[in-house]
Chain A
Amino acid sequence: KAGVTQTPRYLIKTRGQQVTLSCSPISGHRSVSWYQQTPGQGLQFLFEYFSETQRNKGNFPGRFSGRQFSNSRSEMNVSTLELGDSALYLCASSLGQGVSYEQYFGPGTRLTVT
């Protein structure tokens, strides 16, 4: 099976802009979770989608949003970008709902905000 894919792999944006990241889960996986990884804060859970519905949400501002499509593909949107949003954004898919299941991570999208 193909692994989790994320596009784009690298992105440079300016403060105030918005960005949309895409994630395609492993075939058959219905849950997609998003994480932010930074040197200072480490790996932080953003949210989880299952069957097109957000099931869990981490402690991030409303500028961070996401959605999931009927084919389980997911997008994450960050509006009004701030310098502190520079990070590696990872998505992970799993077979079942909830983060209790083994998470298969994609290669990530490295976002740089200038």
Chain B
Amino acid sequence: GQQVMQIPQYQHVQEGEDFTTYCNSSTTLSNIQWYKQRPGGHPVFLIQLVKSGEVKKQKRLTFQFGEAKKNSSLHITATQTTDVGTYFCAGVNNDMRFGAGTRLTVKP
């Protein structure tokens, strides 16, 4: 079945440094979604990528979908303390498979 791998599991950065998390699916996806979960909170939708090679930006966040629609990345430029949380990718075909998430901590 479809598997979604996400790395790294943890990332600790100094405020102002960049951050990237990567997702890789064992199968081609129809689309991929990204969510953020703050400590003690619930996942909140960030974005959906549908097209091969798609790149979308939200302020300091850049999302990419690979040409083969099997991998994706989220890059945060100049992290802030408000960026802390766990970032999940979710690969979608007939169902939704979440990556294990990358827990980001930011030292002020």
Do the beta carbons of A103 and B45 come within 8 Å of each other? yes
Among B41, B48, B96, B101, max chain A CB count under 10 A is at: B96
| Minimal Cβ-Cβ distance residue in A for B44 | A105
Complex CA distance for A59 and B1, rounded to whole angstroms: 10
Do the beta carbons of A42 and B43 come within 8 Å of each other? no
Complex CA distance for A44 and B43, rounded to whole angstroms: 13
A76 to chain B, nearest CB (A): 16
Do the beta carbons of B31 and A42 come within 8 Å of each other? no
Q: Using a CB–CB distance below 8 Å, which chain B residues touch chain A?
A: 1, 30-31, 33, 35, 41-45, 48, 88, 90, 92, 94-101
Q: Using a CB–CB distance below 8 Å, which chain A residues touch chain B?
A: 33, 35, 42-45, 48, 56-59, 90, 92, 99-100, 102-108
Please name 24 pairs of A and B residues whose Cβ atoms are closer than 8 Å in the assembled complex, sorted by A: A35-B98, A42-B99, A42-B101, A43-B43, A44-B98, A45-B95, A45-B96, A45-B97, A45-B98, A56-B95, A58-B95, A59-B1, A90-B42, A92-B43, A99-B92, A99-B95, A99-B96, A100-B30, A103-B43, A103-B96, A105-B44, A106-B42, A107-B42, A108-B42
